[in-house]
């Protein structure tokens, strides 16, 4: 079943080149590396205007007045719009709860909230005009944490809430109620209760408790939010946009514009990364509003500073964990409380809560579990989707707990985890039986078995130390003094796909015809290619299923059905599954044509299992029956079909029981760090990863996902954090000067060991890859730093202050 190391050039018996299992190269790769790729910010249109957003300088305030006169009078300005200028009664949007005003109405709830928009003939004119808009604010007290959110006199962030997340509307038959939360400033709450924690506690020989703090991480995608809205003659608008899910945007945009969805035509433009940060709308509605108001194309491009205010971040969290174990190392119980800060608007918070709760126990067998996860409404920046989505925060806490338990029991931390590791057939705390491979113990075994990197790699033949190999790097802070090595392990569990009863489908239109004397397949989906390599995989699937060499991937747009979101590690599974499904239907039609035309020439047309390979119709024995060119002739075969994975169900509101997730993915890391214990500087020397991917459709892309996820996890371990002032709820570091992400010198070697244990429920047995490595990377680094320093370290990211007692 499994293979060791990274498989390459597996052809699955297909004689068609470039099919699944091969590391075909991405068409956008060279263009991106050489700077020639056209991103959404590069678009240009004759006569276009530039849009600019005026944002709130304060976190919580009543808007007393807005005076746009001076801005409007600025030469070159075509339009200034505020809430009062919105064209319909639909003035809010949101992924699950429509609580986000298109433009602030009477109140701003977070630093950087959009208040007004301007269109002008030059970006600088637009910027200056926006600065001339006079907004009078009357500041309100800020709510920044659970205590201030639920205090008896707390101001309600959203007064008169009647919302309920979609998943729960379904489970309550659509009755709006906020009875599932104990306070209107609590956005969402999900308990998971299984067994009896007090009984588990009785059985425990040791109990460990911990309080953990997880900082606010930014997706830090390289291409800031941008797009171009072009008004059309039919009164509609064409929007060229970088997003993660065209149809979700469309569903939110069209009602605000007062247009039917078919008059808002969206086309994906070059996306410079996403990581969850483009699931929510940013400038989409603003650009369309200005384009429709002025009758001219409007382009909006955020700069980096604005980008930090223009998208949601990863939820910061406080996590309280209590675990027990018997003296022979079996986990007895878990009691956990996970408090996520959702910020001012809901975004994806309900689903993030669902993940944190349902995956809060980690990949372990624990019978008695009581978990409560909740998200707060505060005046902090809104938080939502980011790679790992609720599971990341929980993994940081439960993995720290595993190390504490192992230490208390005097056991090896890997062995302790292996004793408790879940496997296929394990019932999770949600009651869901995991019905595909769950090689948790094996992944740990593999990372532990990898050779360790040599000690003291900074020593050179000459006198001088190679400072690049040391904490501090070229800053030359140590030549080996104070440097201590540490090793740490972690493993995590992430769901794949949309959960909790969501109708998670995708659509693929596949066409096959003869072009220039060759059979060609065309694949058209609305899948957002955000850098994950989906378009490469779609071409591979089409080649494998249809036996063609040439595959054309049409641009993603809303002229085809929804593909769902490029998130939740789901696109290869779901849109890949849709492409496979539509290809299979095309193949059937092609074979029907073949039977009609050539059936009488060879009995195998009627009797044998037929395949399309290498441009020909062949029997499963390999006998060629016809050339596809001859079968198709002048005919074109086209299919557009939706495809769904098996359904999930919502978690019970009270107990959290339910078949909530369609698939799980697992990764384990071993981190090797060197810490300058005097200066508190950390060098991550190596992050070894083992991950089960079910089936590597494109092994090179799989490697890229694992390395990228691992590095993003390293970032939140040692440097990445949006710092919000607790007194004002204002962001203190909205730039790459002070929001640090790892450079290549901070990125360690990342040896990767890929397992391929097929999930029989999934197309080709594949397992979503993108997020799992982001989970375990962070706690592995933290464990290694704890191992080096002996410090408890209950928060991430770790700063030099935490390692030197100088907070």
Site residues for another protein per CB under 8 A: 127, 303, 305, 468, 471-479, 481-482, 678-681, 683, 718-719, 723, 732-733, 735, 737-738, 740, 742-743, 745-746, 799-801, 804, 806-807
Q: Which is nearer to another protein, 451 or 805 (CB)?
A: 805
Q: Where are the beta strands (DSSP E) in 410-482?
A: none
**Residue placing its CB nearer to another protein in the complex, 226 or 657:** 226
Q: Which long-range contacts (CB under 8 A, 24 or more apart) does 511-516 make?
A: 511/586, 511/636, 511/637, 511/638, 511/639, 512/546, 512/548, 512/586, 512/590, 512/628, 512/632, 512/636, 512/637, 512/638, 513/632, 513/635, 513/636, 513/637, 514/628, 514/629, 514/632, 514/633, 514/634, 515/550
User: Measured from the CB of residue 719, what is the shortest distance to another protein in angstroms?
Assistant: 5
Using the minimum distance from each CB to another protein, give the nearer residue, 138 or 468: 468
**Minimum CB distance to another protein, residue 68 (Å):** 20
Confirm if 229 and 403 have CB atoms less than 8 A apart.
no
Backbone angles phi, psi at 380, to 5 degrees: -75, 165
Burial 95-129 (b: 16+ CB within 10 A, else e): bbbbbbbbbbeebbbbbbbbbbbbbbeebebbbbb
- Helix (H/G/I), strand (E/B), else coil: 397: helix
Minimum Å gap between C-beta 66 and another protein is 21
What is the distance, to the nearest Å, from the Cα of residue 311 to the centroid of all Cα atoms in its chain? 13
**Phi and psi at residue 252, to the nearest 5°:** -90, -30
Closer to another protein by CB, 128 or 597: give it: 128
Q: Would you say 607 or 806 has its CB closer to another protein? A: 806
Nearer to another protein, 432 or 778 (CB): 778
Shortest Å distance, C-beta 680 to another protein: 7
Shortest reach from residue 472's CB to another protein, in Å: 6
Q: Which tokens sit at 512? A: 């096959």
By beta-carbon proximity to another protein, the closer residue of 612 and 675 is: 675
Q: Provide the minimum distance between the beta carbon of 539 and another protein in the complex, in angstroms, as a whole number.
A: 35
Closest CB 299 distance from another protein, rounded Å: 18
Q: Provide, rounded to whole angstroms, the least separation between the CB of residue 51 and another protein.
A: 17
C-alpha 547/C-alpha 509 separation (Å) is: 17
Q: Report how far apart, in Å, the C-alpha atoms of 325 and of each of 31, 333, 411, 732 are.
A: 54, 7, 12, 42
Helix (H), strand (E) at residue 441: helix 440-449
- Tokens encoding 706: 């694992």
Q: Which is nearer to another protein, 263 or 799 (CB)?
A: 799
Minimum distance, C-beta of residue 491 to another protein, in the bound complex (Å): 27
CA–CA gap between residue 126 and residue 71 (Å, rounded): 9
Nearer to another protein, 616 or 683 (CB): 683
- Given a contact cutoff of 8 angstroms between Cβ atoms, the answer to whether 754 and 4 are in contact is no
Smallest distance from the beta carbon of 682 to another protein, in angstroms? 9
Q: Shortest gap between Cβ of 74 and another protein (angstroms)?
A: 16
303/728 with CB nearer another protein:
303
Cβ 534 to another protein, closest distance in Å?
A: 31
> Of 52 and 401, which has the nearer Cβ to another protein?
52
Q: What are 104's two structure tokens? A: 């602030």
478 versus 572: smaller Cβ distance to another protein:
478
- Find the length of the chain: 807
CB of 735 to another protein, least distance (A): 7
Measure Cα distances from 690 to 490, 577, 755 in Å.
11, 25, 7
Phi, psi for residue 597 in degrees, rounded to 5: -80, -40
- Angstrom distance (rounded) from CA 337 to CA 275: 26
Angle between helices 391-409 and 349-358 (to 10 degrees): 20
Q: Which is nearer to another protein, 494 or 683 (CB)?
A: 683
User: How many CA atoms lie within 13 Å of 300's alpha carbon, on the beta-carbon side?
Assistant: 26
Encode 537-606 in three state secondary structure.
Answer: HHHHHHHHHHCCCEEEECCCECCCCCCCCCCCCCHHHHHHHHHHHHHHHHHHHHHHHHHHHHHHHCCHHH
To 5 degrees, how large is the angle CA 186–CA 143–CA 740?
Answer: 100
Give the C-alpha separation, 83 to 91, whole Å.
8
Nearer to another protein, 477 or 549 (CB): 477
Task: Give 720-744 as a DSSP string.
Answer: ----B-TTT--BS--STTTS----T
**Is the N-terminal amide bond of 396 cis, ω within 30° of 0?**
no
How much of the chain is helix, strand and coil, in % rounded to 5?
30, 25, 45
d(CA 522, CA 528): 17
CB of 720 to another protein, least distance (A): 10
Task: Tell the smallest beta-carbon distance from residue 326 to another protein (Å).
Answer: 41
Residues 244/528, Cβ–Cβ less than 8 Å: yes
Nearer to another protein, 600 or 749 (CB): 749
In the complex, least distance from residue 738 CB atom to another protein, rounded to whole angstroms? 5
How far, in Å, CA of 342 to CA of 378, rounded? 7
The 3-state DSSP class for residue 314 equals strand
Please say which residue, 162 or 806, places its beta carbon nearer to another protein: 806
Q: Are 682 and 471 in contact (CB under 8 A)?
A: yes
* Alpha carbons 473 and 458: distance in angstroms, whole number: 10
Cβ nearer to another protein, comparing 67 with 678: 678
Smallest distance, another protein to C-beta of residue 48, A: 22
């Amino acid at each position: 079943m499994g293979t060791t190391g990274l498989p390459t050039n597996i052809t699955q018996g297909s004689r068609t080149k470039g099919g699944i299992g091969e590391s075909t190269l991405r068409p956008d790769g060279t263009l991106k590396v050489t700077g020639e790729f056209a991103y959404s910010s590069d678009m240009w249109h004759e006569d276009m205007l530039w849009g600019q957003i005026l944002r709130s300088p304060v976190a919580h305030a009543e808007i007393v007045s807005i005076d746009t006169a001076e801005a409007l009078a600025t030469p070159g300005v075509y339009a200034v719009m505020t809430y009062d200028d919105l064209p319909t009664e639909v003035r809010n949007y949101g992924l699950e709860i429509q609580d986000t005003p298109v433009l602030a109405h009477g109140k701003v709830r977070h630093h950087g909230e959009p208040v007004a928009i301007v269109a002008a003939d030059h970006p600088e004119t637009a910027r200056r005009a926006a600065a001339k808009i006079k907004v009078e604010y009357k500041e309100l007290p800020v709510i920044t944490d659970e205590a201030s959110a639920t205090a008896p006199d707390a101001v309600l962030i959203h007064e008169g809430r009647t919302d309920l997340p979609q998943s729960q509307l379904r489970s309550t038959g659509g009755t709006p109620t906020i009875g599932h939360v104990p306070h209107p400033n609590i956005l969402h709450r999900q308990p998971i209760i299984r067994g009896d924690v007090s009984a588990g506690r009785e059985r425990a020989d040791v109990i460990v408790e911990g309080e953990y703090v997880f900082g606010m991480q930014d997706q830090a995608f390289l291409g800031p939010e941008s797009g171009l809205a072009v008004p059309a003659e039919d009164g509609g608008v064409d929007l060229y946009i970088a997003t993660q899910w065209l149809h979700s945007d469309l569903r939110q945009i069209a009602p605000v514009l007062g247009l039917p969805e078919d008059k808002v035509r969206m086309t994906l433009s070059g996306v410079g990364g996403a990581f969850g940060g483009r699931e929510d709308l940013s400038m989409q509605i603003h650009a369309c509003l200005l384009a429709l108001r002025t009758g001219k194309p409007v382009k909006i491009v955020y700069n980096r500073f604005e980008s930090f205010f223009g998208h949601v971040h990863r939820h910061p969290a406080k996590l309280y964990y209590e675990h027990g174990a018997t003296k022979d190392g079996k986990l007895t119980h878990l009691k956990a409380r996970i408090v996520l800060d959702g910020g001012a608007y809901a975004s994806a918070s309900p689903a993030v809560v669902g993940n944190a709760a349902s995956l809060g126990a980690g990949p372990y067998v624990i019978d008695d579990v009581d978990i409560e996860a909740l998200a707060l409404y505060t005046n902090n920046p809104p938080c939502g989707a980011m790679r790992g989505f609720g599971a990341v925060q929980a993994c940081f806490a439960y993995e720290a707990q595993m190390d504490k338990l192992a230490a208390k029991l005097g056991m090896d931390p890997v062995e302790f985890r292996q004793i408790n590791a879940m496997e296929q057939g394990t019932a999770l705390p949600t009651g869901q039986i995991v019905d595909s491979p769950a090689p948790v113990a094996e992944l740990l075994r593999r990372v532990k078995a990898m050779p360790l990197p040599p000690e003291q790699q900074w020593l050179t033949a000459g006198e001088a130390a190679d400072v690049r190999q040391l904490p501090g790097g070229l800053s030359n802070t140590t030549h080996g003094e104070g440097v201590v090595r540490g090793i740490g392990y972690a493993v995590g569990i992430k769901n794949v796909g949309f959960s909790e009863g969501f109708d998670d489908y995708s659509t693929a239109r596949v066409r096959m015809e003869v072009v220039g004397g060759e059979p060609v397949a065309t694949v058209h989906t609305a899948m957002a290619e955000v850098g994950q390599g989906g378009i490469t995989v779609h071409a591979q699937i089409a080649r494998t299923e249809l036996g063609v060499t040439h595959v054309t991937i049409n641009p993603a747009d809303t002229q085809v059905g929804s593909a769902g979101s490029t998130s939740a590690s789901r696109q290869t599974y779901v849109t890949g599954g849709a492409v496979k499904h539509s290809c299979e239907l095309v193949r059937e039609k092609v074979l029907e044509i073949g039977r009609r035309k050539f059936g009488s020439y060879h009995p195998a047309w009627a009797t044998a299992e037929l395949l399309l390979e290498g441009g020909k119709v062949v029997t499963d024995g390999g006998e060629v029956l016809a050339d596809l060119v001859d079968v198709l002739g002048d005919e074109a075969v086209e299919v557009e079909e939706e495809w769904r994975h098996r359904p999930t169900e919502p978690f019970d509101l009270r107990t959290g029981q339910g078949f909530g997730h369609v698939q799980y993915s697992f990764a384990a890391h071993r981190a090797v760090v060197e810490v300058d214990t005097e200066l508190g500087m950390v060098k991550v020397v190596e992050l070894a990863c083992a991950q089960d991917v079910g089936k590597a459709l494109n092994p090179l892309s799989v490697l890229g996902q694992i390395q990228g996820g691992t590095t993003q996890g390293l970032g939140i371990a040692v440097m990445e954090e949006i710092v919000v002032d607790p007194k004002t709820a204002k962001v203190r570091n909205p730039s790459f000067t002070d929001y640090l992400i790892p450079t290549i010198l901070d990125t360690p070697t990342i040896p990767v060991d890929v397992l391929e244990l097929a999930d029989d429920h999934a197309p080709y047995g594949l397992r979503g890859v993108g997020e799992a490595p982001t989970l375990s990377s962070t706690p592995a680094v933290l464990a290694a730093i704890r191992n080096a320093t002996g410090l408890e370290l209950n928060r991430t990211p770790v700063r030099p202050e935490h390692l030197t007692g100088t907070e």
